[in-house]
Amino acid sequence: MKTLQMENYQLLYSFNFSGPHLPTVLLIHGMMTDSRQWSLMLGSLSAHANILVYDAYGHGRTGLTDEPLTMGKMVSEAHALIDYLGVDRIHLAGCGMGSNLCYELAKRYPDRVASMTLMSSLFFIQEGFLSERLGFLSKLIDVDRDLIIDKWAEDSFSRLTEKKVALFRNGLQTIPTRIVKEQIAELMRIYNPADFHFIDELGSITIPTLILHGSDDTIVPAQLAAIFSICIPNSLWQIIPEAAQQIPLDQPEAAARLLLKFISGEKGPIHSFPIYQELTDKYLQILKSGLAQSKSDGHLLRINVLRDIVVLWNHEPIEGKWNQRGAKELLLYLILHQGTASREELISTFLLDLPAERARNNLRVRINHLNQIFHSFHEPDVHEVLLIGESTLALNAEIESDIGDYLARLKAFPELNLPLKKQASSFVDLLREYDPANFSTFRSDWIFSLTDEIETNLANVLEILIPKLKAEKSFGLAREVLQSARSIEPYDGFCDEQLAEMHYSGMF
């Protein structure tokens, strides 16, 4: 590959120039990959077009600086490359986030863009499953990159082959963690439907556009391709059979054939009869109304343990043998640790007293049991909740727990600027919600360290609150607090000692 000197880094590109009369196509790779995403298509394209590929900032062999990756930076470097090569008008083709970059380039430099081919495009990131999934990826990249590769590859291809997975793995392995996180953050920031109204935004594009989408894409529904195409006035769309999100690797020949046919054909506005236009306008009005009222599909996994132990998926109980093989303990630990934990961490938490080999086998049994509970649930999405890697476990969902909520309230309590009487009543509520007997069915020393943490924090608040109540002569409230706090008092007899002192002092 050749190099283009950018500001404080070098951009790597390859330009296969086959003739001055042939169209020039810039292929823009997607998120968590590099220019190798196009490698299986190049042979079919190069005889019929001048093909330009490059590694974006922080990807592949292109360098990076301390400056964060932004959409503006990606647009600027692509535009600089086109200028450097002296291409007046260029056909753009992108896959995944590469499609978004094509759109941004076309929006900013419409006179330079002859056409766009958008593969697996994503202009609608509604709060819910997809935004949660991207957020989860951003978090997991810090913990277990191999697990991300395995899971993302499984979802990205219609049929996995060693060659495809190797290209995908090699591309992702070279990308620094912060670049992956910054890409995800930019995608979610720009295409959040609260700020990006895709019906109107795409409707302003007049550049001829071809939208390609894989029939087996599980990340973005293929129906969205049709909706995006309806929004863009001068566009065509095509579903590619036996392709998922990675169209250039899943169906390279079909993608190349459709791309070449499109860029070599007539690019005038597509004629539509008045009745068709009327139906399209009505459909877009209905779509706008539906989007305004839509609620996101939930992917919420929650465990409640402060009273009855129950595990919920979107508020529906997941039945199972939660009291067996450490299932509830393992799930609660994962949820309280942001949904991820290494096997070593889990062994040191739950199985430290066992020899290493027995501990690994025991953990494997616990993981399989938890996974089986999820697979027994009727919702298919739950079957994919527990991601099991060689070294890491992760939960692929939005996660909550009542004890997590309780701990957050307790830790925030000293910082709340509430009137003293409100503090006292809120503290009594916290005391009444907590009952150590609710943890009697848990089989782990870790849970006892958790209850110790709760009781220590409660006792600290108690020791701060009682003197304040006395100073304000709120003796009735002080008595109510002390009578509710015997199970967490800093030392045995503290509450009775304080009550007796107030009684003999004539405070009540």
- Longest pairwise C-alpha distance within the chain: 102
- Shared domain for 118 and 213, answered yes or no, is yes
Residues 51, 16 contacting (CB under 8 angstroms): yes
| DSSP track, 37-101 | GGTTTHHHHTTTSEEEEEPPTTSTT----SSPP-HHHHHHHHHHHHHHTT-SSEEEEEETHHHHH
Sequence-distant (6+) residues with CB within 8 A of 324 are 369
CATH number at residue 393: 1.10.10.10
CATH number at residue 115: 3.40.50.1820
Residue 133 counted as domain residue: no
**pLDDT score of 270 more than 60:** no
Residue 138 counted as domain residue: no
pTM greater than the 0.85 cutoff: no
- Shared domain for 321 and 269, answered yes or no, is no
Sequence-distant (6+) residues with CB within 8 A of 486 are 495, 496
Mean pLDDT of 6-13: 96
- Shared domain for 161 and 287, answered yes or no, is yes
Sequence-distant (6+) residues with CB within 8 A of 305 are 328, 332, 401, 402, 403, 438, 439
How many Cβ atoms are within 10 Å of 417's Cβ, its own excluded? 6
**pLDDT score of 508 more than 60:** no
Amino acid identity at 402: D
For residue 182, the model assigns a pLDDT of 92
Residue 275 counted as domain residue: yes
The whole-angstrom distance between residue 321's C-alpha and the CA centroid of its chain comes to 29
Task: Flag the least confident range among 71-80, 485-494, 498-507.
Answer: 498-507
In three-state form (DSSP H/G/I as H, E/B as E, the rest C), the secondary structure along 438-483 is HHCCCCCHHHHHHHHHHHHHHHHHHHHHHHHHHHCCCHHHHHHHHH
Query: Which of 293, 312, 334 is the last residue in one of the domains?
Result: 293
Residue 136 counted as domain residue: no
In sequence order, the β-bridge partners of residue 342 are: 392
Element (H, E) at 434: none
- Shared domain for 201 and 286, answered yes or no, is yes
CA-CA distance, 158 to 301, in Å (whole number)?
28
- Shared domain for 352 and 477, answered yes or no, is no
- Shared domain for 79 and 116, answered yes or no, is yes
Query: Which of 367, 400, 433 is the last residue in one of the domains?
Result: 400
Sequence-distant (6+) residues with CB within 8 A of 210 are 115, 116, 117, 118, 235, 236, 237, 238, 258, 259, 262
**pLDDT score of 29 more than 50:** yes
- Shared domain for 282 and 343, answered yes or no, is no
- Shared domain for 159 and 250, answered yes or no, is yes
Query: Which of 400, 427, 462 is the last residue in one of the domains?
Result: 400
**pLDDT score of 356 more than 90:** yes
For residue 333, the model assigns a pLDDT of 95
Domain range for 446: 416-504
- Shared domain for 286 and 312, answered yes or no, is no
Residue 348 counted as domain residue: yes
**pLDDT score of 293 more than 80:** no
For residue 415, the model assigns a pLDDT of 61
Residue 237 counted as domain residue: yes
pLDDT tens digits for 181-235? 899 889 888 998 888 888 889 989 999 999 999 988 887 877 778 888 888 988 8
Burial of 190 (0-12, 13-18, 19+ CB in 10 A): middle
Does 382 or 131 have the greater pLDDT score? 382
Residues 86, 112 contacting (CB under 8 angstroms): no
- What's the Rg (C-alpha) of the chain? 29
Task: Flag the least confident range among 130-144, 246-260, 304-318, 323-337.
Answer: 130-144
Residue 386 counted as domain residue: yes
Q: What is the mean pLDDT of the chain?
A: 87
**Alpha-carbon distances of 364 from 290, 338, 356, 373, rounded to whole Å:** 45, 21, 12, 14
- Shared domain for 334 and 465, answered yes or no, is no
Residue 408 counted as domain residue: no
**pLDDT score of 287 more than 50:** no
Per the structure, how many domains does the chain have?
A: 3
Strands 209-214 and 113-119: parallel
3-class DSSP assignment, residue 102:
helix
- Shared domain for 181 and 277, answered yes or no, is yes
- Shared domain for 156 and 173, answered yes or no, is yes
Tokens encoding 54: 């490059």
For residue 283, the model assigns a pLDDT of 42
